Structure 1
Amino acid sequence: MDGIVTQLHDYFPDASFMVFNFKEGDKRSQISNILTESDMTVMDYPLQYEGCPLLSLEMIHHFLKSSESWLSLEGQHNVLLMHCERGGWPVLAFMLAGLLLYRKQYTGEQRTLEMVYKQAPKELHHLLSPLNPQPSHLRYLQYISRRGNAPEWPPKDIPFTLECLILRIVPNFDGEGGCRPMVRIYGQDPLAPNSRSSKILFSTSKTKKHVRHYKQAEAAPVKLKTRCRVQGDVVVECIHMDKDLEHEEIMFRVMFNTAFVHSSVLMLSREEIDVVWNAKNQFSRDFKADVGAYFFPSLSICSW
C-alpha cells in the first residue's frame, strides 16, 4: 500500500486526495490509518445494509454530496479515490455507478451499472455476494436519477405499515414445485426516529401454524402476513424452510426506500428481486410478488 501511495503522489504531485473506503465494522482499519498518515483525507463507509451490498439513502446522499463538493472546489487539483476492503467490491461498484449518474458522466442506470460490474471478473461477484444484487442496485440508481426532477432529494421518507407479502406464483424450492415461505423484514425503527441503526423489524414465527407448505399446482396466490411498521430503507427477505423447519434457504430479497413508494402495492417481477446467482429457473417467468403497504387506518389494500 505504501508503494501505491508513493506512486500516486509522484503522478499527481500537486494534488489533494480524498479516499472513500468501504469496510466492515466501526473500528478504523489499518489501511485507513496508512492513507491518513500519507496526507490523504479518508472517509469510511460500511460494506452493506442488513446483508444487502447497498447503503442507506442517507449515506448515499452524503457520499454523493461529499464527492461533488470535493471535485468542484475551484483553484485546487483534487483527486477522488475509492477503495474497498475485503468483501467490499459489490457496494463500491454500486456507489461508483451512482456517482457517474449523479455527475451526469453516464446515462442509463442499467448501462452504467453493467459497465462498472465488468471491471471485475464475474466470479468475484458470485464469491462476494450470494445473491445477485443488481435488481436492488438498479432500484437505488433510479432513485438517484430521479434527483434531477425533484425539488428535494432525497425526499422525506414516509412511514407505513408493511401489511403483507403476496406471492402470485409459488416458486419451486422443495424440488417438487413448492416451498415453505417465511418473511423477515429489516430496517430502522420508526418508533425511534433518533436512532439511525437498523434491526429486524419482523420475522415469521417458525411454527407449522405460520410456515405452511404451498404448491404451484394449487395455482393460488400466497399471502404472508407481516403487519410491520416501516420507514426509510427496508430489506425484505423471503425464505424457504425445510419440512422440519430447521434449515433456511433464502428465495429472494428486495431493498427499497419508503420515500419512493407512492401506491398501496409495490409490485415486483422476477427481474426486480435479488435471487441466488443462476437460480432464476426456480421462479416462473411470470413470477410476481406484491409488497402491500397500508398508509391509512381506513384503507385496507392487502387483498386480491
Structure 2
Amino acid sequence: MESSCELDLVYITERIIAVSYPSTAEEQSFCSNLREVAHMLKSKHGNNYVLFNLSERRHDISKLHPKVLDFGWPDLHTPALEKICSICKAMDTWLNAAAHNVVVLHNKGNRGRLGVVVAAYMHYSNISASADQALDRFAMKRFYEDKVVPVGQPSQKRYIHYFSGLLSGSIKMNNKPLFLHHVIMHGIPNFESKGGCRPFLKIYQAMQPVYTSGIYNVQGDSQTGICITIEPGLLLKGDILLKCYHKKFRSPTRDVIFRVQFHTCAVHDLDVVFGKEDLDEAFRDDRFPEYGKVEFVFSYGPEKIQGMEHLENGPSVSVDYNTSDPLIRWDSYENFNIQREDSTEGTWAEQPLPGKHLEKG
C-alpha cells in the first residue's frame, strides 16, 4: 500500500491509529488505498472502530467504514478551539465505551492536523487517565515529536498550548470584548524584485470573512514598517484568522505573506506581538525578515485610540481601496467541503469536559 500512494499507517497506541496520505496523492491510487485500508481495519477490528476524518468530507470514506465522524478543517490551519474539545470528547467517550474500541484518525495533507488532535488528546486524557495509561501518553508524545513537529505550523502549536492551558487552569478565560485598531508589520517582506511588497489583510472570525483592507504599496528601502489601521475598531470574539497577502504587480495572482490564528479568550494584553517564528508560512520564508514581527493593537471599545499618531505611514506608502478586485475579494475557504456545525455534538460529544470547562467562543 505504501509504495503506490505514500500511505502512512501508524498504530500510535494499541487503540489509536493514524492513517495519513500526502496532499499530492493521485486520485486513482488514493481511492484504491482507501479501499485497502478499510478492508484491513474491518478484518482486524470489525465494527469496533470509529474513523475521525480530519480532512475534506468525501462520500467514499463514509461508505467504506461503519462509523465516520467528519471533523475536517483546511490543511495547514488549526481547528476552532471548540472543535478540538469536541474531537477529544468524542474520542474519549468511544474509547471508554468498550475495551476493544479503536479510534482511526484519517488525514489527507500535512500531518499537522494529526498533531493537533494527538497532542490535544494527550493533554485531555492526562486529566482523567489512570497511571497504567502513562505508556500511551508517552507513545502519543513520541509520535507528535517525531512525525508532526517538523511539519507543523506555529498556530497549531499555539492552539495546543491554549487547550492544555485552559484544561489545567494555567490560562484564564478572557471574556472582555476586544476591538482591533492597528496591525503593524515591523520589517518589510521582500516580495517584489526591487524590494518591498503590496500587502492586504483578510480577517476571519469562525472562518467567516469579516474584514478586508485596502492594498498597501510599500517600498522596502523607504520604510522600516507599515501600519494598517481599522477605524472604528473591529470587534473580534472567538477563533480569529488573519491572513496577509501580497498582490503581485500587474499579475492576477497573490502570495501569502503570513497567516496567524488565535483565540480571543487567551488574549489578555491590548498589545500582542507575533515574531517571525509565530507566523504561519512566514516562519520558513526567507522573504520575511528574520527580525520581522507583527503587532496587534486592541482596545475595549470601537473608539479611536488617542495618541497613536506616531503609527501613521510615511508619504511613500500608498493605499488602493479598490477591494472590488475579484482577487482581493476571493475567499479561499468558502469551497472547503465541511459542515459549519458539527453534527456529532449531540452524540458522543455530550460529556462535560474533565477538569476545566471550555466555554463556547
Measured against the shorter chain, the TM-score band is 0.7 to 0.9
Query: Does 2:57 match 1:45?
Result: no
Aligned-residue offset at 1:12 = 4.0
Q: Compared with structure 1, are the counterparts of its residues 107 and 5 closer, same or farther at alpha carbon in structure 2 (3 Å cutoff)?
A: closer
Q: What is the percent sequence identity of the aligned residues?
A: 23
Aligned-residue offset at 1:7 = 3.6
Equivalent pair of 1:292/1:302 in contact (CA under 8 Å): no
Give the aligned partner of residue 319 of structure 2. none
Q: Compared with structure 1, are the counterparts of its residues 76 and 112 closer, same or farther at alpha carbon in structure 2 (3 Å cutoff)?
A: closer
Give the aligned partner of residue 353 of structure 2. none
Aligned-residue offset at 1:143 = 0.9
Aligned-residue offset at 1:157 = 5.5
Q: Compared with structure 1, are the counterparts of its residues 63 and 216 closer, same or farther at alpha carbon in structure 2 (3 Å cutoff)?
A: farther
Q: Compared with structure 1, are the counterparts of its residues 17 and 59 closer, same or farther at alpha carbon in structure 2 (3 Å cutoff)?
A: same
Separation in 1, partners of 2:212, 2:259: 14
Give the aligned partner of residue 330 of structure 2. none
Instruction: From 125, 137, 150, give the equivalent of 2:156.
Output: 137
Give the aligned partner of residue 200 of structure 1. 209
Larger mean Cα displacement after TM superposition, 240-249 or 286-295: 240-249
Give the aligned partner of residue 235 of structure 2. 229
Separation in 2, partners of 1:235, 1:269: 16
Separation in 1, partners of 2:148, 2:221: 35
Q: Compared with structure 1, are the counterparts of its residues 71 and 242 closer, same or farther at alpha carbon in structure 2 (3 Å cutoff)?
A: same
Give the aligned partner of residue 120 of structure 2. 98
Separation in 1, partners of 2:157, 2:228: 26
Aligned-residue offset at 1:58 = 1.1
Letter of the 2:103 partner, please give it: L
Give the aligned partner of residue 24 of structure 2. none
Task: Name the count of aligned residue pairs.
Answer: 264
Aligned-residue offset at 1:3 = 4.7
Q: Compared with structure 1, are the counterparts of its residues 148 and 199 closer, same or farther at alpha carbon in structure 2 (3 Å cutoff)?
A: closer
Aligned-residue offset at 1:186 = 0.9
Q: Compared with structure 1, are the counterparts of its residues 301 and 106 closer, same or farther at alpha carbon in structure 2 (3 Å cutoff)?
A: farther
Equivalent pair of 1:22/1:88 in contact (CA under 8 Å): no
Separation in 2, partners of 1:223, 1:201: 19
Equivalent pair of 1:169/1:284 in contact (CA under 8 Å): yes
Structure 1, unaligned runs of 5 or more? 126-132, 189-197
Separation in 2, partners of 1:223, 1:276: 18
Instruction: From 59, 63, 74, give the equivalent of 2:83.
Output: 59
Separation in 2, partners of 1:160, 1:301: 17
Aligned partner of residue 176 in structure 1, secondary structure: coil
Equivalent pair of 2:204/2:210 in contact (CA under 8 Å): yes
Aligned-residue offset at 1:8 = 3.3
Separation in 2, partners of 1:16, 1:108: 21
Separation in 1, partners of 2:276, 2:307: 20
Q: Compared with structure 1, are the counterparts of its residues 276 and 168 closer, same or farther at alpha carbon in structure 2 (3 Å cutoff)?
A: closer
Where does 1:1-304 land on structure 2 (aligned, <5 Å)? 1-12=34-45, 16-25=48-57, 29-36=59-66, 41-48=67-74, 52-73=76-97, 76-84=99-107, 86-87=108-109, 89-104=111-126, 105-106=137-138, 113-117=144-148, 134-150=153-169, 155=173, 158-188=176-206, 198-206=207-215, 211-219=216-224, 221-226=225-230, 227-244=233-250, 246-275=252-281, 278-279=284-285, 281-296=286-301, 300=305, 303=308
Q: Compared with structure 1, are the counterparts of its residues 175 and 113 closer, same or farther at alpha carbon in structure 2 (3 Å cutoff)?
A: farther
Q: Compared with structure 1, are the counterparts of its residues 248 and 224 closer, same or farther at alpha carbon in structure 2 (3 Å cutoff)?
A: same
Equivalent pair of 2:77/2:153 in contact (CA under 8 Å): no
Aligned-residue offset at 1:20 = 0.6
Task: Say what the alpha-carbon RMSD is for the aligned residues.
Answer: 3.3
Aligned partner of residue 266 in structure 1, secondary structure: strand
Please give the TM-score of this superposition, normalised by the length of structure 2.
0.63
Separation in 2, partners of 1:186, 1:287: 23
